[in-house]
Amino acid sequence: SRTVTRNDDGAAEVGGLDVRDLAAEFGTPAYILDEADFRARCRAWRAAFGQGADVFYAGKAFLSRAVVRWLTEEGLNLDVCSGTELAVALDAGMPAERIALHGNNKSTAEIERAVTAGVGRIVLDSFQEIARVAAVAAEHGVRQRVQIRVTVGVEAHTHEFIATAHEDQKFGLSLADGQAAEAVRRVLMLDSLELAGIHSHIGSQIFDMAGFEVAARRVVSLLGEIRDEHGVELPEIDLGGGLGIAYTTDDDPREPHEIAKALGEIVARECDAARLTPPRLSVEPGRAIVGPTAFTLYEVGTVKPLEGLRTYVSVDGGMSDNIRTALYDAEYSVSLVSRASDAEPMLVRVVGKHCESGDIVVKDAFLPADTAPGDLLAVPATGAYCRSMASNYNHALRPPVVAVADGRARVIVRRETEEDLLRLDVG
Ligand code: LLP
């Protein structure tokens, strides 16, 4: 988080609070989230895209009632991808018309819930789903606003993009093989569906704008084809999320205003060329909003030097609170935050307490050579896809999310208890 500083004792402070006090009050491991930073990022996205566009926060990155309230207050919309994410959003008071429902295999129950709640948009992902949503909407006498998710045939990577004829993955309807155009035909024939626009999401943790630009061009060109074939100009396009953040100092993220400018210009230029009225643009950042706002606070349990290799530093969490290192080979940094140290740096691997050697939190890092049991470590940029992908492996109790604001800390998601777990076990 931007607001982490060191006090006179050499301990880290976030939002004016000493991490040692946070650990004492809330225990470790814990996700410490800076509410001011979260709100500032929401405002930056809103300001960058302006009144002519919408910003849908991708709830899969991290969702809770408090987050939904912050989003609602800051003027963001919300992308949910399950009935339960939808339930959290509605429960916390997000107006349904500001919610978009995603997913490649939404159940009829989820569709029903979304349609009856009055969500602003359902993003259609398959031919079966077109029929399913149409049937549910008809049954409830609703004309449901929908977008069609298309696969634009670009694969976005961290520092490159590779154009591919077909994307060999489960999401969307392909532009290249005509499935997207066929989906448009079918939706336009159904009275219970209102085709609002076309959706594209090219991937995640992307730094290079080129993939977004290709996607924008191809989506606008589809709008031109739809106008030519059907005589209708669709009013919306959504270019998804995926903007990368800095996990380590090697990463150089784009700012929201850069992506807004690049996308805005491309869409304007392509629409001009195709003589289309520019559609309303929306985007769906998740990681870029919540990722940098939180760090995980751990306590060191053991320190094991391996001669000639490295030192293994075990913390009181691990792959159950951050699966990203094991799953994606993701890179993180780590620092000693409970005190200052003048000791030499030593090469470490920060590992968890799970019964698995792949249980790595930070693969390669340096910590002071005097790092010892009882020290507190912080792993930054864990706000996205860490609590939301946390598990109970080894019956770990999922850590709390503690929001810090105005010099005060409060739990927004509490730590799981042994009781919580035992209650599920009814055998
Ligand atoms: N919109 C759609 C349709 C998506 O599928 C996603 C992410 C987003 C928006 C938000 O993407 P973001 O801005 O957060 O990159 N668990 C992985 C990331 C999977 C993301 C899936 N979809 C991770 O930990 O990196």
Residues 285 and 416 in one domain: no
The residue among 225, 260, 290 that closes a domain is: 290
Cα of 349 from ligand 1 centre, angstroms: 27
Residues 223 and 104 in one domain: yes
Residues 224 and 101 in one domain: yes
Residues 231 and 312 in one domain: no
Residues 47 and 189 in one domain: yes
Over residues 148-187, the pLDDT tens digits come to 999 998 876 654 444 554 567 889 999 999 999 999 999 9
Q: 381 CB contacts (<8 Å, ≥6 apart)?
A: 245, 246, 247, 291, 292, 294, 295, 332, 333
C-alpha 211/C-alpha 229 separation (Å) is 27
Cα of 2 from ligand 1 centre, angstroms: 22
Q: 372 CB contacts (<8 Å, ≥6 apart)?
A: 300, 303
C-alpha 48/C-alpha 120 separation (Å) is 22
Over residues 322-368, the pLDDT tens digits come to 999 999 999 999 999 999 999 999 999 999 999 999 999 999 999 99
Mean pLDDT of 304-312: 97
Residues 246 and 303 in one domain: no
Q: How many domains does the chain contain in total?
A: 2
C-alpha 23/C-alpha 404 separation (Å) is 13
Bridging pattern class, strands 17-18 and 376-380: unpaired
pLDDT at 208: 85
Residues 182 and 306 in one domain: no
pLDDT at 2: 56
Q: What is the CATH number of the domain that holds 316?
A: 2.40.37.10
Residues 161 and 101 in one domain: yes
Residues 264 and 366 in one domain: no
Task: Report the nearest atom of ligand 1 relative to the CA of 288.
Answer: 13
Q: What is the CATH number of the domain that holds 268?
A: 3.20.20.10
Mean pLDDT of 39-67: 98
Mean pLDDT of 287-315: 98
Q: Which domain holds residue 363?
A: 4-33+291-424
pLDDT at 166: 54
The answer to whether the CB of 349 is under 6 A from ligand 1 is no
- Whether 81 is a known active-site residue: answer no
Residue 426 pLDDT more than 70? yes
The answer to whether the CB of 206 is under 6 A from ligand 1 is no
pLDDT at 47: 98
The answer to whether the CB of 149 is under 6 A from ligand 1 is no
C-alpha 416/C-alpha 237 separation (Å) is 40
pTM as predicted? 0.97
Mean pLDDT of 99-124: 98
Cα of 372 from ligand 1 centre, angstroms: 36
The residue among 221, 256, 290 that closes a domain is: 290
Residues 387 and 278 in one domain: no
Over residues 240-292, the pLDDT tens digits come to 999 999 999 888 899 999 999 999 999 999 999 999 999 999 999 999 999 99
If pLDDT is split at 50, 70 and 90, which confidence band does 3 have?
Answer: low
Residues 155 and 229 in one domain: yes
Mean pLDDT of 402-426: 97
pLDDT at 411: 98
The one catalytic residue in 42, 81, 271, 355 is 355
Q: What burial letters (b/e) apply to 14-42, b meaning 16+ CB within 10 Å?
A: bbebbbbebbeebbbbbbbbbbbbbbbbb
Residues 324 and 256 in one domain: no
8 Å CB contact between 385 and 366: no
Do the annotations mark residue 356 as ligand-binding?
yes
Task: Report the nearest atom of ligand 1 relative to the CA of 149.
Answer: 3
Mean pLDDT of 236-240: 97
Residue 30 pLDDT more than 60? yes
The residue among 259, 290, 321 that closes a domain is: 290
Cα of 201 from ligand 1 centre, angstroms: 9
